[in-house]
Each structure stands twice: as C-alpha cells, then as structure tokens.
Structure 1
Amino acid sequence: ESQSIYDVSDEFFALFLDPTMGYTCAYFERDDMTLEEAQNAKFDLALGKLGLEPGMTLLDIGCGWGATLRRAVEKYDVNVVGLTLSENQAEHVQKTFDAMDTTRTRRVLLEGWEKFDEPVDRIVSIGAFEHFGRIRFTRFIYTEIFPGGQLPAQEDIFHCAQEAAFTVEKVQLLREHYARTLNMWAANLAANREKAIAIQSEEVYDRYMHYLTGCEKFF
C-alpha cells in the first residue's frame, strides 16, 4: 500500500517539493532559509546525531528519493543502503546514486525493513514510522494518504526502543518547522495547479491540497 502512495509520478511531487525531493519536515535554522536550505539542514541535523565516520555503512529505512543518503555520502564519506517500497523512488535513487563521483557503495533496495538482515553501522529513518503498523489516525489520513499505516505515539516509540535495548537520549520538537514546511508545500502546489492536474488529475490535486493544508492545522 505504501508503494502506491509514492508511485504518483515524480513529476507531480517535484511541483511542490524542493530540489532535494525531501518529503519530510524541514528544519528552519534561520527565518530567511529557503525550503531547500531547510531540508538540507534537516538532513544535517539527523546525520549529525549518528557519529558517522568514513567507511561506515548507513542504512536509511524509508529512504524516499535518497536525499539523506546522498548528503551522508557527500559529507561523511560513508557507504549507504536505502530501503523503499516505491518503484518510482527506487529508480530515481539508483539514477542519482549512479551519477555520484565517489568510491563508496550506494545501493537502494525495493523492500521493507523487516526483510533486511545485513549488518550496518548506523540506521536513520526520517518520517517513515507512519507506514509501519496499526494506530488510528483521522479517517482521511488512513483511507486517502497512508492506507493501512500508523503514526505511533511518542510513548510507543520509547517503549519499543527500550524493548530493543536502545536508549532515547534526546527529544527535539519540530512542530513549528513542520507547519512551515507544509505551508510552503501547499503554496508551491497551488502555484502549479494547472501543471499538477495535467500530470495527474484534479482529484489527485485536490486530495494533496486537502492533505497538506489539513496537516498544517494539526501543528
């Protein structure tokens, strides 16, 4: 089901995402940041917590269009593996990986996290938890945006992490950053309404506009 969500054409998503194709909360370190700058700041924020060293292998669960992994290769000189359930995303990631000038290994696999059993040094996952299981959300989100998915509560994440022998060292709230990200996405999509309808349909355009503007209100 997650595959169908992101297998709307890449051209459609490119109408409202920034050039990195980051589709999770951006991190606005400064008020004057562009969306692209804020997305790169988000990648740096996440990667900076991992203690990466050259030659390590980093796994990204739910790698999207691969921006986090490309950033990791460029800044930390690591080997990377991305997991996605989207054929479109996997094809895009592989093309961008192939174009990189590096000796580090870059792989993208069309499979879920539960099937991956290779050893890695670090794991990152940004904005993928809502696809992992079974918690109720609003009917619109459940039926239209993330069919069959879940958005676990913070307490559930803590519990599962501790059960797996991990420790939670820091909690960082990004509510205002996500509201601003969603607002910018919606503005970009609205500005490209005619192109979006031509690429997909008015029904798909309306669905995503309702999703983006509705989610902004939650934050």
Structure 2
Amino acid sequence: MTSVPLALAAMALASAAPAKGPHVPAHGTQPKPAAEAAPEHAPAPPAPQRSPGAERVAAWIASSADNQGLPYIIIDKPAARAYLFNAKGKPLADAPVLLGKMRGDEATPGIGAKSLSEIGPAEKTTPAGRFLAKFGIAAGNQKVLWVDYATSVALHTIPVGNKENRKARLLSRSIEDNRITFGCINVPQAFYGKGVAPLFRKKGGYVYVLPDVKPIEDVFPRLRVHAASQ
C-alpha cells in the first residue's frame, strides 16, 4: 500500500512536468502552417472591357435608339468579340468570335451566288456595317441568323465536322487565330442558344460589325453626329 508522503510526491512531480505541446522538428525549424482551404467557388474573371470603337458604337445606339426597339449585337472585329444587348440596350453577354480569314470591310460583289469552292482567299472577309438580321435556312437545312443574306454572311455556331480546329481557335487566348471562316461569324454554342436565338427568334434584330481597315465614322456616319452632340 502506498504511503501518503509517496503519493503526494508523485502528484507534485506530475504537476511540475511541462505540458505536451506541438512537436518541434530538429535543427530548430518550425512546422509549416497548414495550407488554407481553397474557396469552393472561385470568383469569376472580370468581363473584358469593350474596345474604344465598340464603346462608341454602343453609346451611339443607346442614345439614339438606332436599334428601333430590337435586340442587337456589336461585332468588334479588331478584338474578335461579340457583345449582345436586349431591345432596351442592356448588355447581356459577350463571347469570342471567329471571323473571315482575311481582314477587310467589303464583300466581293456577287459572292453570295458563289459556292464555297469558288471563293478565293482574298474574298474571305466579314463585311463591316449595320445589318438587319433575321433567322433563315442555309445549306444543309441549317437554321442560321442571316446577317447579310445577299453576301451569304451569317452568324451561327461552329459547323459540325470542320477541319480547322475552330473550337480550339475560339477558346484560345490569342485573337490572331480567330480569322478562319469564309466570312461568316462563328460564336460559342451557349452564346448562340441561350442568348441570340431567344432574342432574335421572333422579329430579328440588328448586327453592327465594326471595321478592320476603314475609319469607323465611314462605316457608321451617324457617329459624327453623336460625337458633335456630346
């Protein structure tokens, strides 16, 4: 049986022992703090800023109601990007686009009557200007948004079975590889199906295509009036 003095001594030793703390590795190094858990939902990247030309056109349309109560799209060719607005001028979405292989702002006369195999390299341009666009049927019974029916320029998704890696071109960060089409404007599926189609399905809308080469006031002369009024 343990005597009282021995029991008291054992209790005193236990209370004097240092409390157990975190393990300190040898050589005086401190343990690395645990990495903070990554947030479940990372913040979305900021929307790209519109180019000065696109800003000017957007401001002019909004102030003058040039869209005549219809939805509209601004195609910024130098930036290879499309901006979608509703009938009241509210910006809804933006997306990268694929454009005509060659830079240029005019369509070759009579190009709408040519087959794709008859179109020369220099003719593969996306014309600049203001177009009243409506849905219609293209080759292969495909429904597209005709930007300019006379020159066979339409806005649609990437054609099935294309051999130019168009999806990769659309998703790349560079805009140099966005020039690949015969003149049509290719847009992502979500931009087309969830934005363009519901808005343009009934009455159509306007498409404003910014120029590559021409002065922007030559393509949209009313910008001069808008600038003077400002």
Higher strand proportion (structure 1 or 2): 2
> What TM-score does the superposition give when structure 1 sets the normalisation length?
0.26
> What TM-score does the superposition give when structure 2 sets the normalisation length?
0.26
Q: Which structure's CA Rg is the greater one?
A: 2
